[in-house]
Structure 1
Amino acid sequence: MTRSERYTCAITRDRDGRITAVEVAVDDLDGGHRVVRLEGERATHVAAFLQEVLRSAGLRGRQWTSPKPFALSPTLGAHAELLLRTVKPLRRIDRIVGVAEGVAGMSREEASYWHAQTRRRHGLKALRVLLDGGYRR
Protein backbone atom coordinates (compact mmCIF):
# COMPACT_ATOMS: atom_id res chain seq x y z
CA MET A 1 0.00 0.00 0.00
CA THR A 2 1.42 3.37 -0.96
CA ARG A 3 0.91 6.47 1.06
CA SER A 4 -0.35 9.64 -0.53
CA GLU A 5 -1.61 13.01 0.50
CA ARG A 6 -5.29 13.19 1.43
CA TYR A 7 -7.36 16.00 -0.04
CA THR A 8 -10.85 17.16 0.85
CA CYS A 9 -12.92 19.92 -0.69
CA ALA A 10 -15.74 21.85 0.96
CA ILE A 11 -18.16 24.27 -0.68
CA THR A 12 -20.02 26.71 1.57
CA ARG A 13 -23.26 28.25 0.34
CA ASP A 14 -25.64 30.87 1.68
CA ARG A 15 -29.36 30.28 2.16
CA ASP A 16 -30.07 31.17 -1.47
CA GLY A 17 -27.60 28.54 -2.69
CA ARG A 18 -24.89 30.98 -3.77
CA ILE A 19 -21.31 29.92 -3.16
CA THR A 20 -19.70 31.96 -0.38
CA ALA A 21 -16.50 29.97 0.20
CA VAL A 22 -14.43 27.21 -1.35
CA GLU A 23 -11.88 25.27 0.67
CA VAL A 24 -9.33 22.55 -0.07
CA ALA A 25 -7.70 20.85 2.91
CA VAL A 26 -4.62 18.63 2.65
CA ASP A 27 -3.09 16.12 5.04
CA ASP A 28 0.43 15.70 3.68
CA LEU A 29 2.86 12.81 4.01
CA ASP A 30 4.85 14.53 6.78
CA GLY A 31 1.81 14.70 9.03
CA GLY A 32 1.20 18.37 8.28
CA HIS A 33 -2.15 19.91 7.52
CA ARG A 34 -2.75 22.87 5.25
CA VAL A 35 -5.91 24.61 4.13
CA VAL A 36 -6.51 26.96 1.21
CA ARG A 37 -9.76 28.89 1.49
CA LEU A 38 -11.29 31.47 -0.81
CA GLU A 39 -14.22 33.56 0.36
CA GLY A 40 -16.51 36.18 -1.10
CA GLU A 41 -15.98 37.38 -4.66
CA ARG A 42 -12.90 35.26 -5.22
CA ALA A 43 -14.84 32.10 -4.37
CA THR A 44 -17.71 33.13 -6.63
CA HIS A 45 -15.44 33.78 -9.61
CA VAL A 46 -13.36 30.64 -9.15
CA ALA A 47 -16.27 28.25 -8.49
CA ALA A 48 -17.09 27.62 -12.16
CA PHE A 49 -13.46 26.82 -12.96
CA LEU A 50 -13.17 24.51 -9.94
CA GLN A 51 -16.36 22.76 -10.99
CA GLU A 52 -14.90 22.33 -14.49
CA VAL A 53 -11.79 20.66 -13.01
CA LEU A 54 -13.88 18.39 -10.79
CA ARG A 55 -16.34 17.50 -13.53
CA SER A 56 -13.54 16.60 -15.97
CA ALA A 57 -12.36 14.04 -13.40
CA GLY A 58 -15.83 12.48 -13.22
CA LEU A 59 -17.00 14.01 -9.94
CA ARG A 60 -20.78 13.82 -9.66
CA GLY A 61 -22.94 16.91 -9.24
CA ARG A 62 -24.40 15.71 -5.93
CA GLN A 63 -20.99 15.90 -4.27
CA TRP A 64 -20.53 19.42 -5.58
CA THR A 65 -23.85 20.61 -4.19
CA SER A 66 -23.56 18.82 -0.84
CA PRO A 67 -22.65 20.93 2.21
CA LYS A 68 -20.41 18.10 3.44
CA PRO A 69 -16.68 18.01 2.57
CA PHE A 70 -15.82 15.37 -0.02
CA ALA A 71 -12.62 13.47 -0.71
CA LEU A 72 -10.51 14.10 -3.80
CA SER A 73 -7.91 11.85 -5.39
CA PRO A 74 -4.32 13.07 -4.93
CA THR A 75 -4.04 14.21 -8.56
CA LEU A 76 -7.41 15.96 -8.55
CA GLY A 77 -6.74 17.45 -5.11
CA ALA A 78 -3.40 18.85 -6.26
CA HIS A 79 -5.12 20.47 -9.26
CA ALA A 80 -7.84 21.99 -7.05
CA GLU A 81 -5.30 23.22 -4.49
CA LEU A 82 -3.19 24.73 -7.26
CA LEU A 83 -6.22 26.60 -8.59
CA LEU A 84 -7.08 28.11 -5.21
CA ARG A 85 -3.48 28.93 -4.22
CA THR A 86 -2.77 30.61 -7.55
CA VAL A 87 -5.70 33.04 -7.38
CA LYS A 88 -5.81 33.60 -3.61
CA PRO A 89 -3.60 36.73 -3.45
CA LEU A 90 -5.06 38.34 -6.57
CA ARG A 91 -7.44 41.26 -6.19
CA ARG A 92 -8.51 42.23 -9.67
CA ILE A 93 -11.39 40.19 -11.06
CA ASP A 94 -9.97 40.06 -14.60
CA ARG A 95 -6.71 38.56 -13.31
CA ILE A 96 -8.56 36.12 -11.05
CA VAL A 97 -10.67 34.90 -13.96
CA GLY A 98 -7.74 34.76 -16.40
CA VAL A 99 -5.46 32.83 -14.06
CA ALA A 100 -8.24 30.50 -12.90
CA GLU A 101 -9.15 29.76 -16.51
CA GLY A 102 -5.52 28.92 -17.29
CA VAL A 103 -5.14 26.57 -14.33
CA ALA A 104 -8.49 24.89 -15.01
CA GLY A 105 -7.44 24.29 -18.62
CA MET A 106 -4.27 22.46 -17.63
CA SER A 107 -3.89 18.74 -18.13
CA ARG A 108 -3.47 16.58 -15.01
CA GLU A 109 0.25 16.20 -15.74
CA GLU A 110 0.77 19.93 -16.21
CA ALA A 111 -1.16 20.72 -13.02
CA SER A 112 0.89 18.16 -11.07
CA TYR A 113 4.11 19.69 -12.39
CA TRP A 114 3.06 23.21 -11.40
CA HIS A 115 1.76 22.00 -8.04
CA ALA A 116 5.27 20.71 -7.30
CA GLN A 117 6.89 23.89 -8.64
CA THR A 118 4.78 26.15 -6.44
CA ARG A 119 6.44 24.63 -3.39
CA ARG A 120 9.63 26.35 -4.53
CA ARG A 121 10.41 30.01 -4.04
CA HIS A 122 8.65 32.19 -6.62
CA GLY A 123 6.82 29.19 -8.11
CA LEU A 124 3.36 30.74 -7.81
CA LYS A 125 4.59 34.04 -9.19
CA ALA A 126 6.14 32.26 -12.18
CA LEU A 127 2.87 30.45 -12.86
CA ARG A 128 0.88 33.69 -12.69
CA VAL A 129 3.32 35.38 -15.10
CA LEU A 130 3.01 32.43 -17.47
CA LEU A 131 -0.79 32.55 -17.38
CA ASP A 132 -1.45 36.29 -17.58
CA GLY A 133 1.81 37.75 -18.81
CA GLY A 134 2.52 39.38 -15.45
CA TYR A 135 0.81 42.58 -16.45
CA ARG A 136 -0.32 44.89 -13.68
CA ARG A 137 -2.82 46.80 -15.83
Structure 2
Amino acid sequence: MWNRTFTGITGNVSIDEKGDRNADYSILDMTNPTLGIFEPVINYYGESGTVERVADIHWPGGATGPPDDIPDCGFFDEYCPKKMLRHFRSLLALLSASSFWRVSSLVRFTTDSPLIGENQPDSPFTGENQANSPFIGENQPDSLFTGEQ
Protein backbone atom coordinates (compact mmCIF):
# COMPACT_ATOMS: atom_id res chain seq x y z
CA MET A 1 0.00 0.00 0.00
CA TRP A 2 2.96 2.34 -0.40
CA ASN A 3 2.83 5.26 -2.81
CA ARG A 4 -0.85 4.87 -3.49
CA THR A 5 -3.86 7.17 -3.67
CA PHE A 6 -7.42 5.91 -3.55
CA THR A 7 -10.87 7.26 -2.78
CA GLY A 8 -12.12 6.56 0.74
CA ILE A 9 -15.21 7.54 2.70
CA THR A 10 -13.71 10.95 3.59
CA GLY A 11 -12.28 11.63 0.11
CA ASN A 12 -8.87 10.96 -1.39
CA VAL A 13 -6.51 8.88 0.78
CA SER A 14 -2.84 9.25 -0.07
CA ILE A 15 -0.16 6.93 1.32
CA ASP A 16 3.52 7.96 0.98
CA GLU A 17 6.60 5.82 0.29
CA LYS A 18 6.97 4.98 4.03
CA GLY A 19 3.37 3.83 4.42
CA ASP A 20 2.20 6.99 6.22
CA ARG A 21 -1.01 8.72 5.25
CA ASN A 22 -0.73 12.28 3.89
CA ALA A 23 -3.54 13.83 5.87
CA ASP A 24 -5.42 17.02 5.14
CA TYR A 25 -5.81 19.56 7.95
CA SER A 26 -7.90 22.68 8.47
CA ILE A 27 -7.42 25.46 11.00
CA LEU A 28 -10.79 26.67 12.24
CA ASP A 29 -11.53 30.11 13.65
CA MET A 30 -14.62 31.31 15.48
CA THR A 31 -15.78 33.78 12.87
CA ASN A 32 -18.99 34.64 14.71
CA PRO A 33 -18.38 34.69 18.50
CA THR A 34 -21.99 35.61 19.24
CA LEU A 35 -23.34 32.47 17.62
CA GLY A 36 -20.22 30.36 18.29
CA ILE A 37 -19.71 29.46 14.62
CA PHE A 38 -16.34 28.03 13.55
CA GLU A 39 -15.20 28.16 9.92
CA PRO A 40 -11.97 27.07 8.19
CA VAL A 41 -9.45 29.88 7.72
CA ILE A 42 -6.46 27.82 6.48
CA ASN A 43 -6.46 24.44 4.72
CA TYR A 44 -3.47 22.11 4.29
CA TYR A 45 -3.62 19.41 1.63
CA GLY A 46 -1.31 16.54 2.56
CA GLU A 47 -1.15 14.85 -0.86
CA SER A 48 0.13 17.97 -2.65
CA GLY A 49 1.68 19.67 0.41
CA THR A 50 -0.05 22.96 -0.40
CA VAL A 51 -1.53 25.53 1.98
CA GLU A 52 -4.63 27.53 1.10
CA ARG A 53 -5.63 30.63 3.07
CA VAL A 54 -9.42 30.86 3.05
CA ALA A 55 -10.06 33.81 5.41
CA ASP A 56 -8.31 36.07 7.93
CA ILE A 57 -7.81 34.83 11.48
CA HIS A 58 -9.64 36.81 14.15
CA TRP A 59 -7.16 37.06 17.04
CA PRO A 60 -8.52 37.56 20.57
CA GLY A 61 -8.60 41.06 22.01
CA GLY A 62 -8.45 42.67 18.57
CA ALA A 63 -4.77 41.75 18.09
CA THR A 64 -3.38 41.77 14.56
CA GLY A 65 -1.28 38.64 15.00
CA PRO A 66 -0.51 35.73 17.28
CA PRO A 67 0.64 36.32 20.86
CA ASP A 68 4.35 36.36 21.74
CA ASP A 69 6.06 33.05 22.39
CA ILE A 70 7.11 34.33 25.82
CA PRO A 71 4.94 36.78 27.80
CA ASP A 72 6.43 40.21 28.61
CA CYS A 73 7.08 39.26 32.25
CA GLY A 74 7.97 35.65 31.43
CA PHE A 75 5.96 32.64 32.50
CA PHE A 76 6.93 33.06 36.16
CA ASP A 77 7.33 36.89 36.31
CA GLU A 78 11.09 36.43 36.09
CA TYR A 79 11.53 39.44 33.77
CA CYS A 80 9.45 41.95 35.75
CA PRO A 81 9.97 43.62 39.13
CA LYS A 82 8.61 41.57 41.93
CA LYS A 83 4.98 42.51 42.51
CA MET A 84 5.06 41.05 46.00
CA LEU A 85 7.92 43.36 46.99
CA ARG A 86 5.98 46.33 45.62
CA HIS A 87 2.90 45.32 47.65
CA PHE A 88 5.05 44.78 50.74
CA ARG A 89 6.51 48.29 50.42
CA SER A 90 3.03 49.80 50.08
CA LEU A 91 1.79 47.89 53.12
CA LEU A 92 4.86 48.91 55.12
CA ALA A 93 4.31 52.59 54.24
CA LEU A 94 0.64 52.34 55.22
CA LEU A 95 1.43 50.68 58.54
CA SER A 96 4.16 53.23 59.29
CA ALA A 97 1.82 56.14 58.60
CA SER A 98 -0.92 54.54 60.71
CA SER A 99 1.48 53.90 63.61
CA PHE A 100 2.82 57.47 63.42
CA TRP A 101 -0.72 58.84 63.49
CA ARG A 102 -1.66 56.68 66.50
CA VAL A 103 1.48 57.63 68.44
CA SER A 104 1.09 61.33 67.66
CA SER A 105 -2.57 61.19 68.77
CA LEU A 106 -1.58 59.49 72.00
CA VAL A 107 1.20 62.01 72.67
CA ARG A 108 -1.15 64.91 71.93
CA PHE A 109 -3.81 63.40 74.24
CA THR A 110 -1.42 62.84 77.13
CA THR A 111 0.20 66.27 76.85
CA ASP A 112 -3.14 68.09 76.60
CA SER A 113 -4.79 66.38 79.59
CA PRO A 114 -3.63 67.06 83.17
CA LEU A 115 -2.18 64.27 85.25
CA ILE A 116 -4.24 62.53 87.94
CA GLY A 117 -3.75 64.14 91.34
CA GLU A 118 -2.87 67.54 89.97
CA ASN A 119 -5.19 70.47 90.43
CA GLN A 120 -7.74 69.74 87.71
CA PRO A 121 -10.90 71.60 86.75
CA ASP A 122 -14.16 70.85 88.49
CA SER A 123 -15.64 67.41 88.05
CA PRO A 124 -18.73 67.34 85.84
CA PHE A 125 -20.37 64.83 88.23
CA THR A 126 -19.84 66.26 91.72
CA GLY A 127 -18.87 69.86 91.18
CA GLU A 128 -15.83 69.21 93.35
CA ASN A 129 -12.27 69.87 92.54
CA GLN A 130 -10.83 66.61 91.18
CA ALA A 131 -7.93 66.71 93.60
CA ASN A 132 -10.57 65.82 96.26
CA SER A 133 -12.43 63.51 93.88
CA PRO A 134 -13.71 60.20 95.25
CA PHE A 135 -11.97 58.47 92.34
CA ILE A 136 -8.57 59.52 93.63
CA GLY A 137 -7.52 58.56 97.10
CA GLU A 138 -9.27 56.52 99.73
CA ASN A 139 -12.57 58.35 100.21
CA GLN A 140 -15.07 56.41 98.08
CA PRO A 141 -18.63 57.88 98.11
CA ASP A 142 -21.85 55.86 98.28
CA SER A 143 -23.14 57.75 95.28
CA LEU A 144 -20.88 58.83 92.49
CA PHE A 145 -23.14 61.66 91.37
CA THR A 146 -23.85 63.39 94.69
CA GLY A 147 -20.55 63.00 96.45
CA GLU A 148 -22.27 61.77 99.66
CA GLN A 149 -20.30 59.43 101.89
Give the TM-score normalised by structure 2: 0.19
Bigger Rg, which one: 2
Higher RCO, 1 vs 2 (CA within 8 Å, ≥6 residues apart):
1
Give the TM-score normalised by structure 1: 0.20
